[in-house]
Structure 1
Amino acid sequence: MVFITELIHDKVESAEASSLKELEKKVNDLIDINKALMLEVHHVSHHVTPSPKGVLLYSALIHFKAKNTPDSQ
């Protein structure tokens, strides 16, 4: 069995929810998970979209980048 280990330099994840509070929790969970991968938040964009039924859908895109550590240079 061969394991290939490569550093992740950039990663984009998305989250969506039916409430702003739920979206915030999902984004915070993604941040915590990516901290373990030595990634930090570079940029967050968020949008609110009404559905045809009038319900709001909240979404966010989170761009993670590798932390700048002395070992990674």
Structure 2
Amino acid sequence: MVTGAPDPQQTIGPSKGRRFMEKDIIRTNILLTGAPGVGKTTVIGRILEAVESLHPLGFYTEEIREGGARTGFSLVST
């Protein structure tokens, strides 16, 4: 029976295999914690740059500082 949708178990070829692999990568969640100032936001930014072609979805926060003191956070959506 032909359904029109390829069976990922029977798909052959690098482009189709990569497409299924990328879908699995997209489902990966990352939670990064640590002390203030250790580079968490920098790490997330570099990860986002590395996987930009996969169109990542999510969010992270950036500090809002005034006069050298943290006054809050800004939510950044990707």
> Quick check: TM above 0.5?
no
TM-score range, shorter chain: 0.3 to 0.5
Which has a greater percent of strand? 1
Higher relative contact order (CA 8 A, sep 6+): 1
TM-score, normalising length: structure 1: 0.39
TM-score, normalising length: structure 2: 0.37
